[in-house]
Amino acid sequence: MYYSGINEIHSISKELPSLAALSLTKLSSTVFKNVETVYRFLAEFINIPESKKSMELMFNNGVVSELDQLIESKAEIMAKVDELNESIRQIASNIDPEFVFIQEVGFLVSFNIDEEITDKKVIKFMENNFNQAKLVCHNGATLFFRSAELDTLNSMFGDPWREMVEIKRMIETVLVNKVTEVIPELNIIADACAQLEVFLAFSKISNHYNLIRPKVIF
Protein backbone atom coordinates (compact mmCIF):
# COMPACT_ATOMS: atom_id res chain seq x y z
CA MET A 1 0.00 0.00 0.00
CA TYR A 2 1.33 3.44 -0.83
CA TYR A 3 0.16 7.04 -1.25
CA SER A 4 0.13 8.59 -4.70
CA GLY A 5 -1.27 11.87 -3.42
CA ILE A 6 2.02 13.64 -4.10
CA ASN A 7 1.69 13.04 -7.81
CA GLU A 8 -2.05 13.71 -7.99
CA ILE A 9 -3.11 16.40 -5.47
CA HIS A 10 -6.82 16.95 -5.15
CA SER A 11 -7.72 19.91 -3.00
CA ILE A 12 -11.05 19.51 -1.26
CA SER A 13 -12.00 22.92 -2.57
CA LYS A 14 -11.84 21.64 -6.15
CA GLU A 15 -14.57 19.18 -5.34
CA LEU A 16 -16.85 21.81 -3.85
CA PRO A 17 -18.99 22.15 -7.03
CA SER A 18 -19.72 18.42 -7.13
CA LEU A 19 -20.43 18.33 -3.39
CA ALA A 20 -22.75 21.31 -3.74
CA ALA A 21 -24.53 19.63 -6.62
CA LEU A 22 -24.96 16.56 -4.44
CA SER A 23 -26.78 18.61 -1.82
CA LEU A 24 -28.89 20.45 -4.35
CA THR A 25 -30.16 17.20 -5.81
CA LYS A 26 -32.28 16.96 -2.67
CA LEU A 27 -34.12 20.09 -3.69
CA SER A 28 -36.70 19.18 -6.29
CA SER A 29 -38.34 21.77 -8.49
CA THR A 30 -41.53 21.29 -6.49
CA VAL A 31 -39.76 22.32 -3.28
CA PHE A 32 -38.45 25.54 -4.84
CA LYS A 33 -41.77 26.27 -6.51
CA ASN A 34 -43.76 25.92 -3.27
CA VAL A 35 -41.36 28.11 -1.31
CA GLU A 36 -41.20 30.71 -4.09
CA THR A 37 -44.99 30.89 -4.18
CA VAL A 38 -45.13 31.63 -0.45
CA TYR A 39 -42.27 34.15 -0.73
CA ARG A 40 -44.10 36.06 -3.46
CA PHE A 41 -47.25 36.00 -1.34
CA LEU A 42 -45.35 37.46 1.63
CA ALA A 43 -43.60 40.07 -0.55
CA GLU A 44 -47.00 41.41 -1.62
CA PHE A 45 -47.71 42.32 2.00
CA ILE A 46 -44.33 43.02 3.61
CA ASN A 47 -42.07 45.96 2.77
CA ILE A 48 -38.83 44.05 3.27
CA PRO A 49 -36.34 47.00 3.02
CA GLU A 50 -38.33 49.14 5.46
CA SER A 51 -38.82 46.20 7.81
CA LYS A 52 -35.06 45.63 7.95
CA LYS A 53 -34.42 49.33 8.52
CA SER A 54 -36.98 49.79 11.30
CA MET A 55 -36.50 46.30 12.84
CA GLU A 56 -40.26 45.77 12.84
CA LEU A 57 -42.79 44.38 10.39
CA MET A 58 -43.75 47.07 7.85
CA PHE A 59 -46.45 46.51 5.25
CA ASN A 60 -46.65 47.76 1.67
CA ASN A 61 -49.03 50.57 0.83
CA GLY A 62 -52.24 49.54 -0.88
CA VAL A 63 -52.42 46.08 0.70
CA VAL A 64 -55.14 46.95 3.22
CA SER A 65 -56.94 50.23 2.62
CA GLU A 66 -58.02 50.54 6.27
CA LEU A 67 -54.40 50.27 7.39
CA ASP A 68 -53.32 52.91 4.87
CA GLN A 69 -55.93 55.32 6.22
CA LEU A 70 -54.77 54.74 9.79
CA ILE A 71 -51.15 55.33 8.81
CA GLU A 72 -52.19 58.63 7.21
CA SER A 73 -54.03 59.57 10.40
CA LYS A 74 -50.94 58.77 12.43
CA ALA A 75 -48.83 61.00 10.18
CA GLU A 76 -51.36 63.83 10.55
CA ILE A 77 -51.23 63.51 14.34
CA MET A 78 -47.43 63.69 14.43
CA ALA A 79 -47.52 66.71 12.10
CA LYS A 80 -50.01 68.38 14.44
CA VAL A 81 -47.71 67.69 17.41
CA ASP A 82 -44.83 69.38 15.58
CA GLU A 83 -47.05 72.34 14.72
CA LEU A 84 -48.20 72.75 18.33
CA ASN A 85 -44.65 72.57 19.67
CA GLU A 86 -43.46 75.17 17.18
CA SER A 87 -46.12 77.65 18.29
CA ILE A 88 -45.96 77.07 22.05
CA ARG A 89 -42.19 77.44 22.24
CA GLN A 90 -42.51 80.94 20.82
CA ILE A 91 -44.54 82.05 23.83
CA ALA A 92 -43.14 79.83 26.59
CA SER A 93 -39.51 79.07 25.88
CA ASN A 94 -38.63 79.82 29.51
CA ILE A 95 -40.41 76.72 30.81
CA ASP A 96 -39.89 74.53 27.73
CA PRO A 97 -43.32 72.87 27.29
CA GLU A 98 -43.69 69.99 24.86
CA PHE A 99 -46.80 68.55 23.25
CA VAL A 100 -46.89 64.78 22.94
CA PHE A 101 -49.33 62.15 21.74
CA ILE A 102 -49.49 59.01 23.87
CA GLN A 103 -51.20 55.92 22.54
CA GLU A 104 -54.62 55.27 24.11
CA VAL A 105 -54.30 58.56 26.01
CA GLY A 106 -54.17 61.25 23.35
CA PHE A 107 -52.69 64.75 23.17
CA LEU A 108 -50.94 66.00 26.30
CA VAL A 109 -48.55 68.81 27.13
CA SER A 110 -45.52 67.94 29.25
CA PHE A 111 -42.98 69.83 31.35
CA ASN A 112 -39.68 68.74 32.85
CA ILE A 113 -39.46 70.07 36.40
CA ASP A 114 -36.14 71.27 37.80
CA GLU A 115 -34.82 74.02 40.07
CA GLU A 116 -35.76 76.76 37.58
CA ILE A 117 -38.92 75.25 36.11
CA THR A 118 -40.97 74.56 39.21
CA ASP A 119 -44.34 72.87 39.35
CA LYS A 120 -45.90 76.15 40.52
CA LYS A 121 -44.68 77.96 37.40
CA VAL A 122 -45.99 75.18 35.21
CA ILE A 123 -49.43 75.07 36.83
CA LYS A 124 -49.74 78.85 36.58
CA PHE A 125 -48.80 78.73 32.89
CA MET A 126 -51.40 76.05 32.18
CA GLU A 127 -54.14 77.93 34.05
CA ASN A 128 -53.37 81.16 32.19
CA ASN A 129 -53.18 79.63 28.69
CA PHE A 130 -55.52 76.62 28.66
CA ASN A 131 -59.13 75.97 29.60
CA GLN A 132 -59.86 73.32 32.22
CA ALA A 133 -56.17 72.42 32.54
CA LYS A 134 -55.62 69.34 34.67
CA LEU A 135 -52.59 67.36 35.75
CA VAL A 136 -53.03 63.85 34.36
CA CYS A 137 -49.91 62.04 35.53
CA HIS A 138 -46.22 62.40 36.14
CA ASN A 139 -43.19 60.33 35.28
CA GLY A 140 -40.44 61.25 37.66
CA ALA A 141 -39.76 64.94 37.09
CA THR A 142 -42.01 65.15 34.01
CA LEU A 143 -45.57 66.42 34.43
CA PHE A 144 -48.32 65.74 31.87
CA PHE A 145 -51.40 67.93 31.51
CA ARG A 146 -54.57 67.84 29.44
CA SER A 147 -57.06 70.59 28.72
CA ALA A 148 -60.32 71.30 26.94
CA GLU A 149 -58.40 72.31 23.82
CA LEU A 150 -56.47 69.04 23.79
CA ASP A 151 -59.65 67.05 24.37
CA THR A 152 -61.06 68.71 21.26
CA LEU A 153 -58.00 67.58 19.29
CA ASN A 154 -58.45 64.05 20.61
CA SER A 155 -62.04 64.04 19.37
CA MET A 156 -60.94 65.32 15.96
CA PHE A 157 -58.03 62.91 15.36
CA GLY A 158 -58.98 59.87 17.41
CA ASP A 159 -56.39 57.21 18.24
CA PRO A 160 -55.36 55.14 15.18
CA TRP A 161 -52.72 53.08 17.02
CA ARG A 162 -55.10 50.58 18.60
CA GLU A 163 -56.84 49.85 15.30
CA MET A 164 -53.46 49.61 13.55
CA VAL A 165 -52.29 46.98 16.04
CA GLU A 166 -55.45 44.93 15.55
CA ILE A 167 -55.20 45.02 11.75
CA LYS A 168 -51.48 44.19 11.81
CA ARG A 169 -52.11 41.21 14.07
CA MET A 170 -54.78 39.97 11.69
CA ILE A 171 -52.39 40.25 8.73
CA GLU A 172 -49.56 38.61 10.67
CA THR A 173 -51.83 35.65 11.49
CA VAL A 174 -52.62 35.16 7.81
CA LEU A 175 -48.91 35.35 6.89
CA VAL A 176 -47.84 32.91 9.61
CA ASN A 177 -50.48 30.41 8.50
CA LYS A 178 -49.21 30.71 4.93
CA VAL A 179 -45.61 30.07 5.98
CA THR A 180 -46.57 26.97 7.97
CA GLU A 181 -47.77 25.41 4.72
CA VAL A 182 -44.17 25.09 3.49
CA ILE A 183 -42.33 24.24 6.72
CA PRO A 184 -41.32 20.78 5.35
CA GLU A 185 -39.85 22.40 2.24
CA LEU A 186 -38.06 25.03 4.33
CA ASN A 187 -36.52 22.27 6.45
CA ILE A 188 -35.22 20.54 3.33
CA ILE A 189 -33.66 23.77 2.08
CA ALA A 190 -32.16 24.49 5.51
CA ASP A 191 -30.57 21.03 5.60
CA ALA A 192 -29.07 21.51 2.14
CA CYS A 193 -27.73 24.96 3.04
CA ALA A 194 -26.18 23.53 6.20
CA GLN A 195 -24.33 20.93 4.15
CA LEU A 196 -23.10 23.59 1.74
CA GLU A 197 -21.77 25.65 4.64
CA VAL A 198 -19.81 22.64 5.91
CA PHE A 199 -18.37 21.98 2.44
CA LEU A 200 -17.40 25.63 2.12
CA ALA A 201 -15.69 25.59 5.52
CA PHE A 202 -13.74 22.47 4.54
CA SER A 203 -12.66 24.06 1.26
CA LYS A 204 -11.44 27.25 2.95
CA ILE A 205 -9.39 25.27 5.48
CA SER A 206 -7.94 23.02 2.80
CA ASN A 207 -6.88 25.99 0.71
CA HIS A 208 -5.38 27.76 3.72
CA TYR A 209 -3.32 24.79 4.89
CA ASN A 210 -2.78 23.29 1.41
CA LEU A 211 -4.42 20.04 2.47
CA ILE A 212 -4.66 17.15 0.02
CA ARG A 213 -6.68 14.00 -0.27
CA PRO A 214 -4.20 11.29 -1.23
CA LYS A 215 -5.19 8.42 -3.43
CA VAL A 216 -4.59 5.16 -1.58
CA ILE A 217 -3.68 2.21 -3.82
CA PHE A 218 -3.56 -1.35 -2.55
Q: Taking the CA atoms of the chain, what radius of gyration do you get in angstroms?
A: 31
d(CA 141, CA 7) in angstroms, rounded, equals 80
pTM of the model: 0.60
Say what the pLDDT of residue 140 is.
81
| DSSP 8-state secondary structure symbol assigned to residue 100 | E
For the chain, the structural domain boundaries read 2-46+181-217, 65-160
Q: Which of 46, 58, 69, 45 is nearest to 163 (CA)?
A: 69
d(CA 74, CA 58) in angstroms, rounded, equals 14
Say what the pLDDT of residue 10 is.
41
Contact 51, 58 (CB under 8 A): yes
Q: Distance of CA 5 to CAs 41, 75, 194, 207, 213, Å?
A: 52, 70, 29, 16, 7
The C-alpha angle with vertex 105 and arms to 163 and 110, in degrees rounded to 5, equals 140
Say what the pLDDT of residue 143 is.
92
Number of DSSP helices (H) and strands (E) in the chain, helices first: 8, 6
Q: Distance of CA 118 to CAs 46, 94, 106, 170, Å?
A: 48, 11, 25, 46
The DSSP bridge pattern shows strands 134-139 and 142-146 to be antiparallel
Per residue of the chain (218 residues), what is the pLDDT tens digit? 333 333 333 444 455 555 555 555 555 667 778 888 888 888 888 888 888 888 888 888 888 888 899 989 999 999 999 999 998 888 776 788 999 999 889 999 999 988 888 888 888 889 988 999 999 988 888 999 999 999 999 999 988 988 888 898 898 898 899 889 888 888 888 887 788 788 888 888 888 887 776 666 76
Say what the pLDDT of residue 2 is.
37
